[in-house]
Amino acid sequence: MAKIIINGGHRIHGEVTIGGAKNSTVALIPAAILADSPVKFDTVPQILDVKNLQLILQAMNVSSTFENGNLSIDPTTIRESDLPSGAIKSLRASYYFMGALLGRFGRATVTFPGGDNLGRRPIDQHIKGFEALGATVTESNDIIHIDASDHGLIGARVALDTVSVGATINIILAAVKAKGQTIIENAAKEPEIIDIVTFLNNMGANIRGAGTDTIRITGVDTLIARNTHTVIPDRIEAGTYMSMAAAFGDGVTVRNVIPEHLESYTSKLIEMGVNLEIGEDAVHIFPSEKLQPVSIKTMPYPGFATDLQQPVTPLLLMAEGESTIYDTIYPKRVRHIAELRRMGGDIATVKPGEIKIGHSDRLIGTTVEAAEIRAGAALIIAGIMADGTTVINNADHILRGYDRIQEKLTNLGVDIAIEGIDLINLMP
């Protein structure tokens, strides 16, 4: 396991350019196997999740190359194979191979997905969608078999019981080549869903309504890539750097941002009194003065993202008064709290999903654990703010999803080292 070591106490300044969205990329790569031609992506983030998805592709005889953010995938030689369970378990998004393989072969056998422990992460809505399209789903020994090979997938109406990013994308992937029309009601509206749909439609898919709660998919026979797909900027990475800059910056410009994707987040920063200048595709964060406490509730998009709940906590420690966070999406996603307390933060979980944050004058570096990716991001910010040295163990969780973090933080003036992982060989 990797560790990140930060010698804190130096305010950050300068510029940082945001990479392509992890949560788009991890769905775009499985989606690529639906194509009947090679596909190309650019601004792909350099993260462990991409490496593990490439390993899964390799097992299916799908070749891929990745250099400087340019990812090429050739799915034309794909064959059905056993998938490497280590790579499947390393990230949640491996579950998108269920929908993608089902769309490609009419059946899929995939180990139950792993990924970060945020509390219970059921996939019943994904399965409900596959079954509605005519697939039989069985589970044995942690392996899920989904089969519609007898009669093929037939378009259907699926009303999701919960707004789910994963289920919405997985049903789109299964339905894109199914016979007839599929309608997803109560669909998630995240920008990453629009990105996947843009990629598929540019290849000839017929998907309407992405970004609203009703998505209509009319199945097509072939998908051919005719251009390079540029991944949308990572709004969670952007929010993480904005939090850092507002908490402990002397003027930071965050570039390659779609400000509309961050509205619920920036409106909370503004409510706190953070001084921002929002441009067309960049946000400048001025040094903060007196910050007000706020109350935050995580919600499906366009609400405040659960993935920004943790990165905002170190900033809330700077506010002069008590702030509250309610995580309605993943109430057990609070594993950063005990670690922030150990660094001197006045922060506690008072009920499941409810966090109270008081003003904390000073954080002190110590050894902490990154239990999941965004908890790790919170600890990085706290480590930058803290006096002394912070050692973050289990940092692989962070490297799963934060593009070139050492380089970006060093450019902002952070004294950071990563040990226990060969970053040069991060990409196969």
Binding site for ligand UD1 (CB under 6 A): 23, 26, 92-93, 120-126, 162, 164-167, 188, 306-307, 329-330
* DSSP state letter for 162: S
The 10 Å Cβ neighbour count of residue 330 is 20
Over the Cα atoms of the chain, what is R_g?
21
Site mask for ligand PEP (CB under 6 A), range 332-371, x = bound: ----------------------------------------
373 binds, among ligand PEP, ligand UD1, none (CB under 5 to 8 A by kind): ligand PEP
Distance CA 304, CA 301 (A): 7
C-beta of 333: minimal distance to ligand PEP in Å? 8
Q: Tell whether residue 401 is a contact of ligand PEP (CB under 6 A).
A: yes
Question: Among residues 49, 74, 116, 403, which one is catalytic?
Answer: 116
- Is there a contact between 189 and 212 (Cβ–Cβ < 8 Å)? yes
C-beta of 287: minimal distance to ligand PEP in Å? 28
C-beta of 110: minimal distance to ligand UD1 in Å? 15
Cβ neighbours of residue 96 under 8 Å, at least 6 residues apart?
Answer: 26, 27, 30, 31, 166, 169, 170, 173
Closest to ligand UD1 by CB, 303 or 358: 303
**Would the annotation count 124 as a binding residue?**
yes
Closest to ligand PEP by CB, 177 or 404: 404
Distance CA 205, CA 201 (A): 4
**Would the annotation count 121 as a binding residue?**
yes
- Choose which of 4, 17, 23, 241 interacts with ligand PEP (CB under 6 A): 23
- Is there a contact between 160 and 186 (Cβ–Cβ < 8 Å)? yes
Distance CA 30, CA 126 (A): 15
Instruction: Output the CA torsion sign for 212, 165, 30, 236.
Output: positive
**Would the annotation count 82 as a binding residue?**
no
Q: Which of 326, 323, 322, 271 lies closest to 298, judged by CA?
A: 326
With H, G, I as helix, E, B as strand and everything else as coil, classify residue 348. strand
C-beta of 391: minimal distance to ligand UD1 in Å? 26
CA 254 to chain centre: 18
Closest to ligand PEP by CB, 92 or 104: 92
Residues 101-140 that bind ligand PEP (CB under 6 A): 115-116, 118
Distance CA 310, CA 323 (A): 13
C-beta of 136: minimal distance to ligand PEP in Å? 27
**Amino acid in the structure at residue 345:** G
Residues 371-390 that bind ligand PEP (CB under 6 A): 373-374
116 is catalytic: yes
- Is there a contact between 47 and 22 (Cβ–Cβ < 8 Å)? yes
User: How many of the chain's residues bind ligand PEP (CB under 6 A)?
Assistant: 12
Q: Which of 55, 148, 165, 77 lies closest to 109, judged by CA?
A: 148
Residues 301-330 that bind ligand PEP (CB under 6 A): 307
Distance CA 245, CA 252 (A): 6
- Is there a contact between 72 and 40 (Cβ–Cβ < 8 Å)? yes
CA 186 to chain centre: 21
H or E element that contains 57: helix 48-59
**Would the annotation count 329 as a binding residue?**
yes
Site mask for ligand PEP (CB under 6 A), range 78-107, x = bound: -------------xxx--------------
C-beta of 374: minimal distance to ligand UD1 in Å? 8
Distance CA 260, CA 257 (A): 9
**Would the annotation count 374 as a binding residue?**
no
**Would the annotation count 123 as a binding residue?**
yes
C-beta of 373: minimal distance to ligand PEP in Å? 5
Distance CA 10, CA 19 (A): 24
Q: Tell whether residue 261 is a contact of ligand PEP (CB under 6 A).
A: no
Closest to ligand PEP by CB, 118 or 156: 118
Phi and psi, residue 247, nearest 5°: -80, -35
Q: Tell whether residue 331 is a contact of ligand PEP (CB under 6 A).
A: no
Closest to ligand UD1 by CB, 243 or 253: 243
Q: Which of 249, 254, 251, 289 lies closest to 272, judged by CA?
A: 289
123 binds, among ligand PEP, ligand UD1, none (CB under 5 to 8 A by kind): ligand UD1
**Would the annotation count 18 as a binding residue?**
no
Annotated binding site for phosphoenolpyruvate: 22-23
Residues contributing to the site for ligand PEP (CB under 6 A): 22-23, 91-93, 115-116, 118, 307, 373-374, 401
Binding site as annotated, residues for UDP-N-acetyl-alpha-D-glucosamine? 92, 121-125, 307, 329
Q: Could you tell me which residues are annotated as the binding site?
A: 22-23, 92, 121-125, 307, 329
Catalytic residues: 116
